[in-house]
Amino acid sequence: MIQVPQGFRLAAANADFRGKKLKRNDLCLVLSDVPANAAGVFTTNLFKAAPVLISQEHLASGAPMRGVLINSGQANACTGDKGLEDCRASLDMVARALCGQGTDIGAETLLPASTGVIGAHMDMEKWRAAMPALTGSLGSIDLEGLARAMMTTDAFPKMAGAVLELENGCVRLAGVAKGAGMICPNMATMLALVMCDAAVPAGMWRAMFRRAADATFNRVSVDGDTSTNDSLFGLANGASGVSVRDGDLPRLEKALTDVLGQLAYMLVKDGEGATKVMHIHVSGAKNDAEAEKVARAVGHSQLVKTAMFGRDPNWGRIVAAAGRSGADFDPMELKVTLCGVELFSGGRPSDLDFDALLEKPLENVDIPLEISLGSGTGKARLLASDLSTGYVTLNSDYRS
């Protein structure tokens, strides 16, 4: 069981946002007992949900934050000005309810996130009704309870943590995420949150959080679509009393990257209808950006994804995707190695019996795919799901 870092209390409640009287929580709150340095990474989609806009506004102040408020079932996206008002009203309610319990925080120190049906306005009556249960549960919810309250169609709750012995003492990191689960009318929203009880200067924390997100959450592909609501938060509250020294920063960043990396891996593994996780590693590109082009072209290719689902060592589709990626390399230098078996080099498929050699390895969930371009030192990694009949069924049958 992953421990919640010091000075954080978790709360969750069932607000019935889906209107289906399900016995599950759909509202949760992470509260830091002291102001925490806060970082956020958000969807780059032009259509940003109200909670994304308001989280960005709160973070832009540079001030420390007290918490994150997440609901599932109502995305509050494409809801116009009323959506912004509703979002602010929900934060006010939480701040007032906490005040009634003796915890005095400003609504502008809360970061909101939502996932669920887009286009519809939030049901503020349901928010109001859920407040006593939410604030009443504060401190009684564990990390898994938090992860479960964020879930939409995720098959499993997603949690990761790390304990780090630094020179001045021990610090903890713990994170939760929800994946690309779909909900009527179907947006794949990625939400994640990492808590850390180390004392890290705000600028350092923000910079390392952005780099860690870039190396992990920005390196996954389920279907290439991005949502109106994608949000990723990081709070460092210093409640451990352990100040991170300059010499400790690389280790803290590594631990943070590891926690985000575990969560990102779980997202791909739990991608809709996914049966495989391709671990794509491109090397030998002219630069990292060129390597990323190849990784994304291969990882997003419907033909490569369906081949993986079919356990088919289809070098032709991999080679063709690399060739149309827009990256500049010499086709004669390309090497493709799948599950340790070299499929292609020197412009030709290798002379091995791929089907026999790869029949067993391709039954695994995790499929390593190495692509070497032989044209430089640029490299990139990407985790990509396969494309199954299950994906199409899930995404075309939402009415049923």
| Residue numbers annotated as active site | 189
Give the separation between CA 68 and CA 367, rounded to whole angstroms. 35
Question: Site residues (CB under 8 A) for its own copies?
Answer: 43-47, 77-80, 118-119, 185-188, 223-228, 300-303, 306-307, 309-310, 312, 314-317, 319-324, 329, 331, 344, 346-349, 387-389, 391-393, 395-399
Question: How near is the Cβ of 375 to its own copies at its closest, in Å?
Answer: 11
Side-by-side strand order, sheet with 277-285:
220-221, 378-385, 277-285, 366-372, 335-338, 341-345, 348-349
Nearest distance in Å: CB 315, its own copies: 7
Of 175 and 273, the one with the shorter C-beta distance to its own copies is 273
Q: How far is the CB of 74 from its own copies (least distance, A)?
A: 13
Q: Which residue, among 205, 193, 259, 212, has the nearest Cα to 236 in the 3D structure?
A: 205
Give CA angle at 65 (59, 70), nearest 5°.
85
Smallest gap, in angstroms, from Cβ of residue 305 to its own copies? 9
CA atoms within 13 A on the CB side of 354: 18
Report the residue number, 21 or 348, with the smaller CB distance to its own copies: 348
Q: Which of 90, 314 has the CB closer to its own copies?
A: 314
Nearer to its own copies, 263 or 322 (CB): 322
Query: Residue 84: beta bridge partners?
Result: none
Amino acid in the structure at residue 186: N
Judged by beta carbon, residue 132 or residue 347, the one nearer its own copies is: 347
DSSP string, 287-304: SHHHHHHHHHHHHH-HHH
Q: Check if the beta carbon of residue 341 is closer than 8 Å to that of residue 383.
A: no
Q: One-letter amino acid identity for 312?
A: D
> What are 363's two structure tokens?
């039954």
Cβ of residue 123: shortest distance to its own copies, in angstroms?
A: 17
